Structure 1
Amino acid sequence: MTPRVVIIGAGFAGYNAARVLTRKHGRQVDVTIVNPTDFMLYQPLLPDVAAGIVDPRHAAVSLAATLPRARLLPGVATAVEIDRRAVHYTDPDGRARQVSYDRLVIGVGAVNKVLPIEGSADYSHGLKGIPEALYLRDHIIRQVELAAVAETEEERRARLTFVVVGAGYTGTETAAVGQLFTRSITRRHPHLKARWILVQYAGHLLPELGPYLQRAAERTLRERGVELRLNTSVAKEEAEGVLLTDGEFVAARTVVWTTGVRPDPVVESFGLPTTHGRIRTDEYLAVDGHPEIYAAGDVAAVPDLLNPGEPTPMTGQHAERQGAVAGRNVAASLGLRTAKPYKHHPLGFLVDLGGAKATADPLGIPMSGVLAKVVTRAYHLYAMPGNRVRVAVDWALDALLPRQVVRLGLVSEDAVPLDSADPELPRRAGR
């Protein structure tokens, strides 16, 4: 019988595992994907979606169109029955179902990291998915519209203040493109001026990058008027704003929380060995003690062969490449090819700062400005497995035409809690 490979999750890791298996061995294995949606989300485009630059559909790569030999089971995985080699999942109608496997690849990814800070789960939003990006876009437009008719100067200033917590890739890009977005909105209201604040607990932005790229990003943000609060964090959050650890209270109605991610807590129910919530694997991505199960991406603690004793970082580049290696090694375990250890050679870092600005170090060559922007967008078009022309057209139209500023009202606040792993998390009244 044709061996069945079940893949849980269709993020960077799960998608690329399925891609390798279906393209190289589509007639020799039966590939089944368990995933809540019928698309792979290209997460680096989420700040552009939130700023109205890229159509949300174009950041979603269709599984049916790009993985035609894979079978999709819509649903959320809830448990893995290791002895019986079965995955239990809940379908969109809430019915409990299961699927058996000969080989299993786990790539469920990560969720927002919620820190134990009073009020953060009640009043903040992350930026991990399309619903969050759509909500944030509508919320920003709504705050500007309400500021235009505010009865007091205090309310106007609070509605025009936008706080981003965390200056990694997502936080820095969100503050950069967000500031340009509010500038385009307030053109219709000349008396209004938005204030963006980027809060970072470390002494510099983008801690993963070198000093040159950090300084270039900081310079661009400061020139645009984004306030950088370095060596600072949030002590408390409430409906009227945030209290910073330096003692200042910032009146605001918008807080975007991008302080990091954590492995999807569903893996705790799988009964597999973990380290800090990540499934332990060997350098071939096989789970410790379970050679028929593989894990890749943010959910996997894969040994970093370039930094012995450490797991690979939770980044999109690692997830994408680990997924491809997992697909290869699953095929090898079935006798279809030879296994390969995961050894990552960094291609560099890319940070899109909106407009004509970016900072990047492709292949270790640091650059900033327009050239970095061209390299950054070219890389994203190369890395995307679909929708390249649509995304390129979105970027071109944004450069040539005024941005459309309308609230669609498709996503409510209650639908996008900060802890995206727990959609039932209670929330207080919206701002």
Structure 2
Amino acid sequence: GAALMLTIVLYPYVYLLARASFRQQSGNAFLVARTLGRSPMQAFWRVALPMARPAIAGGALLAIMETIADFGTVAFFNVQTFATGIYQAWFSLGDRAAAAQLALCLLAFALLLAGLERSSRGRSRTAGRGARFETMERPVLKGAAGWGAFLLCFLPVLLGFVLPVIMLGVMAIGSGQNILSARYLGFMSNSILLASVAAVLTVAGAILVGFRARTRPGRSSRWLVLGAGLGYAVPGGVIAVGLMVPMAGLDNAIDAVMQETFGIRTGLLITGSIWLMILAYIVRFMAAALNAYDSGMATVPGHLDAIGRSLGQPGPKLLTRVHLPVARTSVVTALLIVFVDVMKELPATLILHPFDVQTLAVQAHRLAADERLSEAAVPSLVLVGFGLIPVLILCRTLGRESMGRRAAKLGTAISAG
């Protein structure tokens, strides 16, 4: 049951990245495979799928890390994992040493997974698109094939969205909650503000890390990428406590110095603000943004960097005029993933949020913990709605952006001076 629930919840990680990768592929390679006698299915398995492997592997790694760090689902189904063991040791037994040992094992497992994925990728690279870029012609399925494709694609949507929303809607009717009240508007504004700021800062950090790893390959860059991605495998509560303890000590030290020197009490400057929450979100979801950005850059041939430098686009200009225009869809995907993840993040928010900053996730958790499930359905539905907005924006962006314009954009970016 837990595995089925996690599959239904986490399949968009692979779907979004794979869809962006398939959209970036030229139809030329597929057509060449067809002219060489391959059937459409053989051309897909031998050409299109290997070209999308970096995106699929990145999405699968995100899903695996989210699974080993998940707490709510496995706790509900009473499955003993590292995440539940850490929470039980820390919050129920008060044994910080045991919780630290379990967290260290979880970190080691995450490092092993990331290392295996990188080593399995090896030196494989995606070929360039070429000067002529042809989009794939969309096939038209009719009859049994069309209905079979529709049912197969609609099944995860039915189980992961339609049925839960219907159940939450039935529970929310008559709950007495007013989502337009000042209280709920405050929950919404706090959630949107935290998710937006955290998404922008996290993706910006991921772009810088990915740019360094691409332009300065080496052992230090590989370790930097691995270190940036480890936070995704650690439960949010562990990251929150790990940040809160040293930052509280720093706040107390600053307060003591200011009181002794100037007679002023500063209080909790860091731990009492939302910036510690945003720092925890950045650490937690850096891997999600990095994998999304890296999957987009994997389709860009390395010689384009040398061409850009020879045309007077060094350093920051190479990033802003060559890399970012090409990886635009991947950057939007990264923003979407981090935004939605921050909106629904609960453990870190529960531990670090100031008293006057409440979010939709915290409100839904408190109502559900009090067995007020009908009332908890209201903030849950609002969370679903806000999570659906960026998904629709991304789908519209992917749907209307032609590959020909992107190829022309790439040529303009390289030649611009």
Q: TM-score, normalised by structure 1?
A: 0.26
Higher Rg of the two aligned structures: 2
> Which gives a bigger RCO, structure 1 or 2 (Cα 8 Å, sep 6+)?
2
Q: TM-score, normalised by structure 2?
A: 0.26
Tell me which protein shows more helix as a share of its residues. 2
Tell me which protein shows more strand as a share of its residues. 1
